[in-house]
Amino acid sequence: MASDLPINLPAAAPARAESSNAPESLLSTLRERMVAFAASRYAGAQSEDLAQEVLVVIHQKYAHLSRVEDLLPVCFQILRFKLVALQRKQGRRGEYSQVDLEDLPLAGDAPDPETAYARKQLLTRLAENLRKLGPRCQELFKHKLQGRSFAEIRELMGAEALNTVYTWDHRCRKQLLERMGGRWEG
C-alpha cells in the first residue's frame, strides 16, 4: 500500500513529528499528502474538501490511532473511497461532459449579417411587387398584414361570401408569386 502513496515519508520523520508537537504536525502532514494525492487523481478543486472530509472521519472513527504509520494507510484508503464516490456522483450529474459557461459565446437575438441582408432584399422585392398588383390585391394584403381574419376582410371589402375572399387571396398570392419569379426566396 505504501507504493500507492505519492510521497514516501522517511522512517525517522514520524518519530520526530510525534515528539515535537504531536497532533497538529501529524494532521498537517497527513493533510498535505492527501491533498497532493487527490489532486493527482483528477479531483482538482475538490482535493482540499476531500482531505478535510477524510480528516473528519479519522477524528471521529480512528481517534485511537496516533502514529503516522498507522494513520497513513487508513487515510489513503478512505480517500480512495471518497474519490470513487466523487467520480460516481460526477458521472450521475453529467459533470464530465459539461462545458464551462465562460467558454460559450453569448447568443444574440439578432440574425447574422447574411441572413439580415437576405431578409432585407426579400422584403424590398415583396414591396416592389405588391405595388404592381391590382388595388383589390393590395387592399387584401393590407388587411391580412394588419392581422384581420377572413371574416373581417369579407365585411371590409364588401364580398358576399367568405369563399370569395378565399378565392381572391389564392389568386393574389399566385400573382405575387409569379411576379417574384416563381420563388419566395431570392
**40 within domain boundaries:** yes
What does the pLDDT read at residue 41?
Answer: 75
User: Do 43 and 50 form a contact (C-beta atoms < 8 A)?
Assistant: yes
Rounded-to-integer distance, Cα 65 and Cα 58, Å: 9
- From the CA atom positions of the chain, what is the Rg in Å? 38
Do 12 and 84 sit in the same domain of this protein? yes
Domain span at residue 48 reads 2-96
Of 62, 78, 96, the domain-final residue = 96
Tell me, yes or no, whether 7 and 87 share the same domain: yes
Last residue of a domain, one of 96, 131, 157: 96
Which of 61, 96, 131 delimits the end of a domain? 96
Sign of the CA dihedral running 117, 119, 120, 126: positive
- Angle subtended by helix axes 68-93 and 47-61, to nearest 10: 130
Residue 148 and residue 88 share a domain: no
This prediction has a pTM of 0.42
- DSSP letter at 65 equals -
Q: Do residues 61 and 25 share a domain?
A: yes
Nearest CA-CA partner of 69 in 125, 130, 12, 148: 12
Q: Residue 108 domain-assigned?
A: no
| Residue-level pLDDT, tens digit, the chain, 186 residues | 444 444 444 443 444 444 445 667 778 888 888 888 888 877 677 888 888 899 899 888 988 887 878 888 999 899 999 989 988 888 888 777 777 777 777 777 888 889 889 889 988 988 999 999 999 999 999 999 999 999 999 999 999 999 999 999 999 999 999 988 887 775
Mark whether 90 and 126 lie in a shared domain: no
pLDDT value at residue 58: 87
CA dihedral 168, 170, 175, 179 (to 10 degrees): 140
| CATH number of 153's domain | 1.10.10.10
Q: How many domains is the chain partitioned into structurally? A: 2
Q: Quick check: is 13 in a domain?
A: yes
> Residue 53 half-sphere exposure, CB side, CA atoms within 13 Å?
16
Residue 125 exposed, middle or buried by CB count within 10 Å (0-12, 13-18, 19+): middle
In a domain, 110, yes or no: no
Does one domain contain both 90 and 37?
yes
Identify whether residues 12 and 73 lie together within a single domain: yes
Q: Are residues 143 and 92 part of one domain?
A: no
Do residue 92 and residue 135 come from a single domain? no
One domain, residues 141 and 91: no
Residues 56 and 21 both lie in one domain: yes
Same domain for 87 and 170? no
Residue 186: predicted pLDDT: 58
Q: Is residue 56 part of a domain?
A: yes
Residue 111 domain flag: no
